[in-house]
């Protein structure tokens, strides 16, 4: 999303920001959750020199302590923001960590590729009397490009009672406690196009104002103010009742399956990674009654990767039995990262970015249980990759329901920072995989863009059965944005824009059909269900282009959709139908959605 006219950079020196000595290797993993890294490493590579687990987190992870003065913390925050505020396609990557305790008088403004997190086991262990602010002054009040930033695991007491979080895609707000209101629009209520909240408590009111769409999962809110096009809730206590299309609320009482994102925390002086347990039919936060349920791993069980490390070294660490912690920065890969061990964690900090070179796939997961991929960006390379992320081998039918793979806050970008190409961004073959918040984006602005310059035919392809997507954002692909071939798939919230830059009708022609649907369920699928799905068109290169429908699926009783919409943004192109041959066409320039409440 980057519509300027529609409703809808020197950092502190490394020595000054290095993590404290407590980040060193620790052997104090508790017996219940530790693994014998040395034993598995020796078995994997007898006689080889072992790669170390643990270690410091590098210069771009900045750790704050309650003993520091508010002035020094604020100065550090302001320096980072000054560098990152407008650096949409820059190379800076930063993780801000706050040790447990209370901080006062802070306003942490977040720019691009900046993540802020508390280091407690509960958000309430780390309280900021102040604000974590995302606004759009850099873009004249337009928040539709406020991508790639995040806030996690903190409690906020906003100075004026309301915290501003005016974001667009790839900007999760997870595991947060706002002791006040949360405003999701920029100052002046300019355009906004987000967003995602999970496992959070907002004591006051959530105020979307101009936000066009939003998904909130497994949270607690005081109240919700309004909606524009598509507001979706699952497992949210205090959510408004079902009302789509007027008001525009899709509300599910629970989330069928969820497992929160892994996170870094401090246990005394030891850094650990907490692994929340899987929940079924969940509602509300995981941390409301104290210690969350799950297990944890010592940092000594992770290979702490720094930019410049080779893919071969990352794979050797995995072979040794280590997990991966990707510290902030850009990682070039000349071979795939291969995750073959059940229960492996690959966790990124500060939007760590993987760039596959020479057409390789960035990361592949084997047919194993319980892999957790979280918190990183994949940026397509200049040589076309067939795929960028593959979860499971083709054709697998293994049951992973007891311990599924989760893909959380894993984002894909093709073009924008330079020409990039990939035929398919993400392929899910493993059964029961949970894709919990992703944004797959073929860039519509920046450098290296054009119908064939950053060619990318498909966003998400799901071949595995029983896959669940919660918070699915997929935009601008040359053909199908989502192609879902697996049985019993489910999607809760989908946001899409068709490719802006199609040169003419012939360029998007799909046989006898005008255009490729944003979300296509395979012709042989017998059971599928979706809630709260929207597709928008903005064919600004050729506004005469007609898209037949936003959604296409087999017309059978087991394939069900609830609360669908298509929108022509300012009349730049039109839809003839919403799903298959159902739903009124869009028309004119009024940007009014055409909706279908239930299909079939």
H or E stretch at 576: strand 574-579
Cα 359 to Cα 10, 149, 339, 438: the distances in Å are 33, 27, 19, 22
User: Is-catalytic flag, 529?
Assistant: no
Would you give the end-to-end CA distance of the chain in angstroms? 30
Cα–Cα distance measured from residue 530 to residue 516, given in angstroms and rounded to the nearest whole number? 18
Q: What are phi and psi of 134, to 5 degrees?
A: -120, 120
Q: CA 391, CA 430: separation in Å to the nearest integer?
A: 6
User: What letter would DSSP give residue 31?
Assistant: T
Contact by Cβ (8 Å): 163, 178: yes
Bridge partner list, 159: none
Helix intervals (H) in 58-180: 70-84
Adjacent-strand bridge partners of 215: 196, 232
Would you list the DSSP string of 116-159?
A: EEE-SSSGGGEEEEEEEEB--GGGTT--TT--SEEEES-EE--T
CB neighbours of 151 closer than 8 A, spacing ≥ 6? 110, 115, 116, 117, 132, 165, 172, 173, 174, 176
Kindly give the pairing relationship between strand 546-552 and strand 574-579.
Answer: parallel
Q: Are 458 and 491 in contact (CB under 8 A)?
A: no
Q: Which of the residues 390, 497, 529, 581 is marked catalytic?
A: 497
Please tell me the distance from the alpha carbon of residue 360 to that of residue 550, in angstroms, as a whole number. Answer: 31
- Which residues are identified as catalytic? 497
């Amino acid at each position: 999303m980057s519509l300027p006219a529609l409703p809808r950079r020197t950092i502190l020196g490394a020595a000054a920001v290095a993590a404290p000595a407590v980040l060193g290797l620790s052997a104090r993993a508790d017996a219940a959750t530790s693994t014998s890294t040395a034993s598995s490493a020796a078995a994997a590579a007898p006689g080889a020199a072992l790669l170390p687990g643990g270690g410091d987190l590098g210069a771009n992870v900045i750790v704050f302590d309650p003993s520091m003065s508010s002035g020094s913390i604020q100065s550090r925050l302001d320096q980072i923001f000054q560098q990152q505020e407008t650096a949409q396609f820059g190379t800076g990557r930063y993780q801000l960590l706050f040790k447990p305790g209370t901080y006062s008088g802070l306003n942490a403004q977040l720019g691009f590729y900046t993540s802020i997190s508390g280091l407690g086991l509960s958000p309430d262990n780390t309280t900021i009397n102040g604000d974590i602010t995302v606004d759009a002054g850099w873009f004249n009040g337009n928040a539709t490009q406020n991508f790639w930033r995040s806030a996690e695991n903190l409690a906020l007491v906003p100075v004026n009672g309301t915290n501003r979080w005016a974001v667009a895609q790839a900007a999760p707000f997870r595991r947060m406690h706002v002791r006040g209101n949360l405003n999701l629009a920029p100052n002046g209520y300019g355009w906004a196009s987000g967003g995602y909240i999970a496992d959070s408590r907002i004591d006051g009111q959530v105020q979307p104002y101009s936000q066009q769409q939003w998904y909130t999962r497994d949270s607690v809110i005081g109240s919700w103010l309004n909606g524009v096009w598509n507001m979706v809730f699952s497992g949210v206590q205090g959510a408004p009742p079902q009302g789509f299309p007027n008001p525009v609320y899709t509300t599910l009482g629970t989330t069928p399956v969820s497992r929160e994102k892994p996170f870094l925390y401090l246990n005394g002086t030891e850094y650990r990674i907490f692994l929340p347990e899987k929940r079924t039919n969940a509602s509300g936060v995981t941390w409301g009654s104290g210690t969350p349920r799950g297990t944890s791993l010592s940092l000594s069980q992770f290979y702490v990767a720094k930019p410049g490390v080779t893919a071969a070294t990352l794979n050797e660490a995995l072979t040794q039995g280590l997990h991966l912690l990707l510290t902030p920065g850009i990682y070039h890969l000349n071979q795939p990262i291969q995750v073959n061990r059940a229960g492996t964690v690959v966790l990124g900090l500060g939007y760590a970015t993987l760039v596959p070179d020479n057409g390789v796939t960035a990361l592949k997961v084997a047919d194993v249980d319980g892999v957790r991929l979280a918190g990183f960006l994949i940026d397509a390379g200049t040589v076309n990759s067939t795929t960028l992320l593959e979860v499971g081998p083709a054709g697998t039918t293994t049951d992973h329901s007891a311990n599924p793979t989760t893909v959380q806050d894993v984002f894909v970008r093709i073009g924008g920072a330079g020409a990039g190409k990939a035929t398919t961004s993400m392929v899910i073959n493993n059964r029961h995989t949970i894709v919990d918040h992703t944004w797959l984006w073929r860039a519509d602005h920046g450098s290296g863009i054009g119908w064939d310059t950053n060619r990318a035919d498909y966003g998400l392809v799901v071949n595995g059965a029983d896959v669940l997507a919660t918070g699915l954002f997929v935009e601008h692909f040359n053909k199908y944005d989502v192609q879902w071939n697996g049985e019993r798939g489910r999607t809760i919230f989908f946001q899409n824009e068709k490719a802006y830059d199609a040169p003419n009708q012939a360029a998007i022609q799909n046989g006898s059909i005008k255009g490729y649907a944003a979300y296509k369920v395979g012709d042989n699928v017998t059971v599928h269900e979706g809630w709260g799905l929207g597709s928008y068109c903005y064919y600004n290169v050729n506004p005469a282009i007609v898209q037949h429908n936003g959604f296409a699926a087999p017309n059978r009783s087991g394939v069900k959709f609830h609360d669908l919409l298509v929108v022509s943004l300012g009349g730049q192109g039109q839809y003839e139908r919403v799903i298959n041959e159902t739903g009124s066409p869009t028309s004119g320039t009024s940007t009014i959605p055409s909706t279908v409440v239930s299909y079939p």
